[in-house]
Every structure is written in C-alpha cells, then in structure tokens.
Amino acid sequence: MRLKKLQNRLARKNRIRSKVRGSAVCPRMTVSRSLTRMTVQLIDDDAGKTLIAMSTKELKARPNMEGAKKLGAAVAKKAKDAKIDAVVFDRNAYKYHGRVKELAEAARSGGLTF
C-alpha cells in the first residue's frame, strides 16, 4: 500500500512538471513542505539555475498557515527586488489548499502574477 501511495504521488508530480516550465522572464515557483519547514524556489528551467530560494527556517517562522503567509510575502518582495513580476506556480504534487494556498495567495498579494 505504501508503494502505491508513493507511485501515485510521483505520477501527480510528473504530470504537473510536464506542463509547467519556467524561464528567466517567468521562472517556476516550486513549493516544498514538510513537518519542520516549507521552502520556495524560483527556478529558471532554461538555464537550470535557482534564482531565489527561501524557507521558513530563514524567516524563523513555523511551517504553519502563518509561516506560509510570511514566506509568500517575503518571496514576493525578494522577487520584486530581482525585477521578477510573473511566475509559473508548481505546487509539487500537493493539493492546492492549506499552507500551499496561503503561500500562493500571499505571494499574489505581494505583487507576483501567476
């Protein structure tokens, strides 16, 4: 049963990644979450480089809803400083609700366009 669950998750992740691609102008914003932290990266897939990376550990925030809001706002501010206005959102096989949704909405309210 555990193997089937992992295979389903990887299939969801691959299905999303096949449709989402970032560039230098519009990088891919990927989210990773665990019980101890949340991380966000803005990735230029053409060059294969990470442009911006942040986590709740850097912000000294907990990986809950409030921490996700702080992380989203901080990433939006850092992206604006790097002159990035638009991103492509990669939820990374997670459902779009809870912490992932809060992070995305905070980034949108911070000025990023998805």
Q: Would residue 94 count as lying in a domain?
A: yes
Select from 84, 91, 72, 102 the least CA-distant residue to 20: 91
CATH code, 12: 3.30.420.100
Q: Across all residues in the chain, what is the average pLDDT?
A: 94
**11-64 residue pLDDT tens:** 999 999 898 889 889 999 999 999 999 999 999 999 999 999 999 999 999 999
How many domains, the chain?
Answer: 1
- Count CA within 13 A, CB hemisphere, residue 51: 25
- The arithmetic mean of pLDDT across residues 84-111, rounded, is 95
What is the extent of the structural domain holding 18? Answer: 2-109
Tell me, what's the pLDDT at 70? Answer: 97
Q: Would residue 27 count as lying in a domain?
A: yes
Q: Would residue 103 count as lying in a domain?
A: yes
Q: Would residue 60 count as lying in a domain?
A: yes
Q: How far apart are CA 51 and CA 108, in angstroms?
A: 18
Strand, helix or coil for residue 89: strand
Q: Would residue 23 count as lying in a domain?
A: yes
- The arithmetic mean of pLDDT across residues 60-87, rounded, is 96
What is the torsional sign of CA 28, 32, 49, 75? positive
Q: Would residue 10 count as lying in a domain?
A: yes
- The arithmetic mean of pLDDT across residues 94-100, rounded, is 94
The answer to whether 63 and 56 have CB atoms below 8 angstroms apart is yes
Tell me, what's the pLDDT at 112? Answer: 96
Q: Would residue 101 count as lying in a domain?
A: yes
Q: Would residue 114 count as lying in a domain?
A: no
